[in-house]
Structure 1
Amino acid sequence: MVSSAATPSPTNVPLGVRLGYAVGSFCTANFSTIPGLLLLFYMTNVLAVPAFLAGVVLFLPKAWDLVANPLVGRWSDRTAGRWGPRRPWLLAGAVVLPLTFALMFAGLPLRGAPAAVYVGVVFLLAATGYALYEVPYKAMPAEMTTDYHERTSLLQWRMVFIAISVALSGIVAPMIAGQTLDGHRLMGIVFGVILLVAMLGSFFGTARAPFTGQQRSEGTLRAQIAAARTSKPFMWLLGLSSAQNLAAGIMLAGAPYFAAYTLNDPDATSTLFAALVGPMLVTMPLWVWLARRLDKRGAMVLAGSLFTGGAILVVAAPAFGSLWSHLVVMIVGLGYAGLQLLQFSMLADVIAYDGAVSGERRGGVFTGLWTAVENAVSALGATIYGWVLALGGFLASDPDNPVTQPGSAHVAVVVGLSVVPALITLAGVVMTLKYDLTAGRVAAAVRAPSAAPGPVEA
């Protein structure tokens, strides 16, 4: 087996490596999407967990990410050997995550608060496995190439795989799960197997990845976190990405409720997700082109504006019905495609810029902080939606004891899916205007890196 620390390729990444890396997105997208889409509904409508408590349960395990993810990033930065600094951690995550994901939907004979405790504990273990895999996985693109636009091209393949995976998560997973305990149990097993295959696939598929990283950092974890916090490009990117991910998390959590209570068709969850991910499958070359024409910041502003506009138009869904809903979700999906591609391409730029200026390999710390915040805000999205439902008087139930929701709950379903995420995404667009790490700045840093490590400033 060829080491990941093979001779660097400063510009082009081989197609086989691109595909090998991209297949790992089946892990990223499935674990990010399915709990956000189904776990809240599973607890409130199958396990009879009150909406407020279910929202808290979804968020609390993510507090652990704030500790675990930077540690994993630090460990992967300091790992050396014939497999490279990142790949052993991909394998470690594959041991933990698939099993705990399946157990999360195992459907033990528990209801109410005991069921909430069980789901919360297993979700915590699954989040730990995800951290072991995802933190080093996100750091890898910055170390595969030194070219600003090649990173976008490399991640284009990842976005295509994410689109396919989100389609599986948003269309196939709800179809398998239905609204029954047995359906959710089967879904957990099926997607646990998919996670395992994808995680092993990315481990073996990146064996020949070029490595352009710097020397291992010898600074303390606290010093590296401080360096990340003083990197203005990183902090602005983290802020705007958090706004986008929070809005997406709210919409994911709200989709089953919107389908069931606004469109009166629970099966519409799958078709709504087809409308969301369809643009991701066909518009990636367009967003790559726009990133070159407008630079990544300009393309990101456009993507955020499309997402915001589409979300606002969802408000009219009760009046215009299912066709309108699917069309405006396609607008959201067009913006979402650009947001997903560009934020990870820009993160790779930030890591490469920091490495060039500091002379050290500490991308794992950056991605550790990034992933911790990303997971927290995604979970917070479900929590916020659960609280919006609670404010609207939404009533918990189980399949054997259905209830009739009050009118205020129906209003909360729509407002939580449209107005709330639109306002949050608009804040992300404003923050994008403060991000100023351009192609010229990255290229200048790579051509003339600093000899002394230190914090990266704008």
Structure 2
Amino acid sequence: MATAPQLRKLPLATKLAYGFGSVAYGIKDNGFQTLLLLYYNQVVGVPAHLVGLAIMVALVIDAFVDPIVGHLSDHLRSRWGRRHPFMYAAALPVGLLYLLLWNPPTSSPGATVAWLAGTAILIRTAISCYEVPSSALAPELTADYHERTSVLGYRYLFGWIGGMTMLLLTFNVFLQPTAQYPLGQLNPDGYHRYALVAAIAMTLSIAISALGTHREIRHLPQGRPARTSIAGTFREIAATLRNRAFLILIGAGVFAYTSQGLSFALSTYFNTFVWGFPAAALGLFTIAVLVGVGLAFLLASRVSRRLGKRRTAVLLSLCYIIVSIIPLLLRRNGLFFVNGDPALMPVLMGFTALGTALGVGNMILGASMMSDVVEEAQERTGARSEGLFFAGSFFMQKCVSGLGLFLTGIILSGVGFPTGALPGQVSQQTLYRLIDTYCVLHIVLGLTGLLILSRFPITRAQHEQRVARLAETASHAAPLPGSEPEYTLPSNAQAAPL
């Protein structure tokens, strides 16, 4: 049987190093969900539905890599443990591939779409080789019910700080208006500068995180050597991922992340065409998002200590559904500030901060709940499969994020949103159709995910009892195959001279 992680509090330095690596994921995720569709559609000139389709296909194909990476990581045995070899190996490819994504050939529309799909698959695969093993570290670093929420809070904190900081630089530095491009969001050179800086930041964050958590390897559970066929490997993956608690989290996540993908992809359209903000003003919203992330970091941990993870997650989900659409519904009915009103920006920033706090807080709790599934499954199967469970979560996120982007392309085409449009040139009726469609989908997706999440079965008391039983069992278990020393000298023997 696999050994259990220690029930311990982690030093702050370890939490900071662990969380810092998610800067790479934050940059990539915000780039894909906020900028990529706009860049390829409005700047490169590819029709929105083809961009959405290419991204969705790329993400779905790449998502099948995650369970393989998770399985290989779970069973790897090396002097650097199960996770760190993957983390170190991913650093350089991630940066190089992200740079290529934003520099497509323009010889033909077909070549551009193929480049988008191909590079999107490769960058997602490279990120998986870091993100899946790194995520699997959280339940390995500590078995403490609330400490896991704290550890994962740092992960989301740095992920959002990294992503939002890069967006702040993008809108306020890289996408500056020029004589040729009076609307900065349509300046192709700005996207190329963004790609270079983002690629460097992603590589550095992964390398620093791997180095900063290297000293924890001696505390981590050991892997079981895998000696099965390819067919046997897939049977083991399927059996592991049939866990009921895991499937509940995945089911809730399908709807939540589809809604998130839709929201992120349309956020730049809303800010540019509904609210009429220039690129510099759009950058200010990252400040509101950063404030919201800081609130989420405190909110998830403190409220869940009183209510438990499941009840807190359900409460935050419900509040998020309501808060995130209030400004759009008020504008749709003529009850909100008009464009140009001095109060418009600060009020929207307040709604953005609150919505971010609720949404990110829920993500932190979802990841912490996924960590608790590991011991529940270990008690049933005798194996720790952190990599597989988190890979399954990423599999879901990638598939449905692609679905969100695909739906965005369909919505934009369906409401008749024009290509190459400038603020003030899109009709009011088109904008109202866009708002109506988005709000209906957001409510339906959010409520469905909330109802599924409310069925999550693991409580704090159950988790702590389970950890105690596993620790007792592990203390009597034989060593894992391959973990015994090859030869030990008797205590009264002397080593032969070389």
Q: What is the TM-score when the length of structure 1 is the normalising length?
A: 0.91
Farther-moved stretch of structure 1 (336-345 vs 80-89): 336-345
CA offset at residue 398 of structure 1? 8.2
Farther-moved stretch of structure 1 (97-106 vs 278-287): 278-287
CA offset at residue 49 of structure 1? 0.9
CA offset at residue 236 of structure 1? 0.3
Residues 304 and 425 in structure 1, CA contact (< 8 A), matched pair in contact too: yes
Aligned twin of 2:99: 102
Farther-moved stretch of structure 1 (233-242 vs 331-340): 331-340
CA distance in 2 between partners of 1:224 and 1:290 (Å): 37
Aligned twin of 1:248: 260
Among 245, 269, 289, the alignment partner of 1:276 is 289
Q: Deviations over 1:301-342 (max 9, x none)?
A: 111112100123132235314344333323311211211211
CA offset at residue 187 of structure 1? 0.5
Q: Deviations over 1:214-233 (max 9, x none)?
A: 54164632233223332110
CA distance in 2 between partners of 1:7 and 1:74 (Å): 18
CA distance in 2 between partners of 1:405 and 1:271 (Å): 24
Q: Percent identity?
A: 25
Residues 47 and 398 in structure 1, CA contact (< 8 A), matched pair in contact too: no
Aligned twin of 1:294: 307
Residues 71 and 385 in structure 2, CA contact (< 8 A), matched pair in contact too: yes
Aligned twin of 2:480: none
CA offset at residue 282 of structure 1? 3.2
Runs of 4+ in 1 over 6 A off after TM superposition: none
Aligned twin of 2:52: 55
Aligned twin of 2:318: 305
Amino acid at match of 1:281: G
Q: Does 2:190 align with 1:183? A: yes
CA offset at residue 416 of structure 1? 5.0
Are the structure 2 counterparts of residues 370 and 8 from structure 1 closer, same or farther at C-alpha, using a change threshold of 3 Å? closer
Residues 244 and 425 in structure 1, CA contact (< 8 A), matched pair in contact too: yes
Aligned twin of 1:86: 83
Are the structure 2 counterparts of residues 359 and 61 from structure 1 closer, same or farther at C-alpha, using a change threshold of 3 Å? same
Aligned twin of 2:465: 444
Q: Does 2:415 align with 1:392? A: yes
Among 345, 363, 368, the alignment partner of 1:340 is 363
Amino acid at match of 1:445: R
CA distance in 2 between partners of 1:371 and 1:50 (Å): 28
Amino acid at match of 2:164: A
Q: Does 2:221 align with 1:213? A: yes
Residues 311 and 422 in structure 1, CA contact (< 8 A), matched pair in contact too: no
Unaligned runs of 5+ in 1: 453-458
CA distance in 2 between partners of 1:276 and 1:362 (Å): 33
Residues 82 and 222 in structure 2, CA contact (< 8 A), matched pair in contact too: no
Among 448, 469, 493, the alignment partner of 1:427 is 448
Size of the alignment, in residue pairs?
Answer: 446
Are the structure 2 counterparts of residues 7 and 234 from structure 1 closer, same or farther at C-alpha, using a change threshold of 3 Å? closer
Farther-moved stretch of structure 1 (163-172 vs 345-354): 163-172
Are the structure 2 counterparts of residues 145 and 73 from structure 1 closer, same or farther at C-alpha, using a change threshold of 3 Å? same
CA distance in 2 between partners of 1:409 and 1:244 (Å): 26
CA offset at residue 140 of structure 1? 0.8
CA distance in 1 between partners of 2:265 and 2:159 (Å): 18
CA distance in 1 between partners of 2:298 and 2:424 (Å): 47
Which secondary structure does the structure 2 equivalent of 1:361 belong to? Answer: coil
CA offset at residue 59 of structure 1? 0.5
Q: Deviations over 1:62-85 (max 9, x none)?
A: 122332111111111111111110
Unaligned runs of 5+ in 2: 176-184, 338-343, 478-498
Residues 48 and 398 in structure 1, CA contact (< 8 A), matched pair in contact too: no
CA offset at residue 272 of structure 1? 3.1
CA distance in 2 between partners of 1:251 and 1:158 (Å): 22
Residues 91 and 207 in structure 2, CA contact (< 8 A), matched pair in contact too: yes
Q: Deviations over 1:406-449 (max 9, x none)?
A: 44432244235533223212211111111111112222222224
CA offset at residue 58 of structure 1? 1.2
CA distance in 2 between partners of 1:207 and 1:214 (Å): 15
Among 311, 318, 327, the alignment partner of 2:350 is 327
Amino acid at match of 2:169: V
The alignment's C-alpha RMSD in Å is 2.5
Which secondary structure does the structure 1 equivalent of 2:216 belong to? Answer: coil
Aligned twin of 1:456: none
Which secondary structure does the structure 1 equivalent of 2:215 belong to? Answer: coil
Among 182, 199, 203, the alignment partner of 2:206 is 199
Are the structure 2 counterparts of residues 352 and 379 from structure 1 closer, same or farther at C-alpha, using a change threshold of 3 Å? same
The 5 Å alignment of 1:351-430 reads 351-397=374-420, 404-430=425-451
Q: Deviations over 1:105-163 (max 9, x none)?
A: 11433464432221121111111111111111111111111111111122222232123
- Greater C-alpha Rg: 2
Are the structure 2 counterparts of residues 300 and 112 from structure 1 closer, same or farther at C-alpha, using a change threshold of 3 Å? same
Farther-moved stretch of structure 1 (260-269 vs 71-80): 260-269
CA distance in 1 between partners of 2:445 and 2:166 (Å): 24
Residues 23 and 160 in structure 2, CA contact (< 8 A), matched pair in contact too: no
CA distance in 2 between partners of 1:416 and 1:375 (Å): 23
